[in-house]
């Protein structure tokens, strides 16, 4: 586990979303100097910078992300420091064959980017994991913000938005669960499997503070809007919901971390 040297590249305290998920990832990750790590959906470097400092100059860390903007931001933060850390633009669902094998594969808040074929994407990752290596991924699992989704469902029903409600239910059914994670790891013969969920409360004010909340709008509330062809109807409904925080507070996310080891070759 952690218990290594105190890192200069600490996880940023001001990030109320990525950092708590990264902490759950690190709680399960076995680290040591000299390891070669692939960090998928690396964003702007949480926790790639921390990992790079822990493995030291004898190790290697490659962070990949589909977003060229995120890769550029991570490189700007890095500058000339930690030269054994690199960032590249790749789609985790179609990893190039020339990628080497890694001792560890990590991905903070990554599993949502595995759609539509999550198991196929996971299998592709495991192919790049060295025998005896560890895979650790985090994601918000099924049950995240359930109180909000129940409130949205009631409002869709009350307003007679039947087609939008059907699309909304399809979206909810796509959320991966801890049970899914354990099944995936077992299907690929991983050993030492651990799948753990921990709650995380997200606090917001009413009205626009809720509708523009940086943790809720991207990837969560946007999914509700996408259920509507008429965005004015969506905005009208969501403004009504945003004024009624008491009906779905507290807002609880489920931080899920999935970990497994690839069996050593005989």
Report pLDDT digits (tens) over 170-189.
988 888 999 999 999 999 99
Residue 12 maps to a domain:
no
Residues 112-152 pLDDT 10s: 889 888 999 999 999 999 999 999 999 999 999 999 999 99
**Higher per-residue confidence, 2 vs 54:** 54
Residue 4's pLDDT band, with cuts at 50, 70 and 90, is very low
Q: For residue 41, what is the domain's CATH number?
A: 3.40.50.150
What is residue 12's predicted lDDT score, i.e. its pLDDT?
87
Question: Do 33 and 162 sit in the same domain of this protein?
Answer: no
The token pair that represents 32 in the structure block? 């040591």
Looking at the fold, whether 68 and 186 belong to one and the same domain comes out as yes
User: Would you place residue 5 in the very low, low, confident or very high pLDDT band (cuts 50, 70, 90)?
Assistant: very low
Give residue-wise pLDDT tens across range 193-215.
Answer: 999 999 999 999 999 999 999 88
At 223-238, the pLDDT tens digits run 899 999 999 999 999 9
Q: Does residue 7 form part of some domain?
A: no
Tell whether 97 is covered by a domain. Answer: yes
If DSSP states are collapsed to H, E and C, what string results for the chain? CCCCCCCCCCCCCCCCCHHHHHHHHHHHCCCCCCCEEEEECCCCCCCHHHHHHHHCCCCEEEEEECCHHHHHHHHHHHCCCCCCEEEEECCHHHCCCCCCCEEEEEECCCHHHHCCCHHHHHHHHHHCEEEEEEEEEEEECCCCCHHHHHHHHHHHHHHCCHHHHHHHHHHHHCCCCHHHHHHHHHHCCCEEEEEEEEEEEECCCCCHHHHCCCCCHHHHHHHHHCCCCCHHHHHHHHHHHHCCHHHCCCEEEEEEEEEEECCCCC
Is the distance from CB of 256 to CB of 181 less than 8 angstroms? yes
Tell whether 231 and 124 lie within a shared domain: no
Residue-level pLDDT at 9: 87
67 lies in a domain? Answer: yes
Indicate whether 125 and 165 sit together in one domain.
no
pLDDT of 134 reads: 98
Q: How confident is the model at residue 6 (pLDDT cuts 50, 70, 90)?
A: very low
With a pLDDT cut of 90, the percent of the chain lying above it is 84
Place of tokens 């940086």: 214
Task: Please state the domain count of the chain.
Answer: 2
Query: Structural domain of residue 188, as residue ranges?
Result: 18-140+176-200+252-261
9: in domain: no
Q: Do 184 and 217 have their domain in common?
A: no
Contacts of 179 (CB under 8 A, 6+ apart): none
Q: Is the same domain home to 95 and 24?
A: yes
């Amino acid at each position: 586990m952690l218990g290594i040297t105190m890192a200069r590249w600490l996880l940023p305290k001001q990030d109320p979303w990525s950092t708590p998920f990264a902490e759950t990832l690190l709680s399960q990750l076995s680290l040591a100097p000299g390891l070669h790590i692939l960090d998928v959906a690396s964003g702007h470097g949480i926790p790639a910078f921390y990992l790079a400092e822990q493995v030291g100059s004898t190790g290697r860390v490659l962070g990949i992300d589909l977003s060229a903007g995120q890769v550029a931001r991570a490189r700007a933060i890095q500058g000339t420091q930690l030269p054994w850390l690199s960032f590249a633009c790749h789609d985790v669902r179609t990893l190039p064959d020339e990628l080497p094998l890694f001792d560890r594969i990590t991905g903070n808040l990554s599993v949502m980017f595995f759609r539509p074929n999550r198991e196929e994407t996971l299998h592709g990752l495991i192919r790049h994991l060295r025998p005896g290596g560890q895979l650790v991924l985090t994601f918000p699992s099924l049950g995240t913000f359930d109180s909000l989704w129940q409130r949205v469902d009631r409002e869709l029903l009350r307003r007679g938005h039947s087609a939008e409600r059907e699309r909304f239910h399809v979206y909810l059914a796509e959320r991966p669960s801890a049970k899914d994670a354990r099944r995936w790891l077992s299907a690929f013969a991983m050993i030492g499997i651990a799948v753990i969920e921990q709650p995380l409360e997200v606090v917001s004010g009413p009205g626009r503070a809720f509708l523009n909340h940086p943790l809720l709008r991207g990837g969560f509330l946007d999914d509700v809007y996408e259920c509507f062809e008429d965005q004015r109807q969506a905005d009208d409904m969501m403004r009504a919901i945003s004024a009624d925080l008491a009906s779905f507070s507290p807002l609880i996310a489920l931080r899920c971390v999935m970990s497994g080891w690839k069996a050593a070759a005989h």
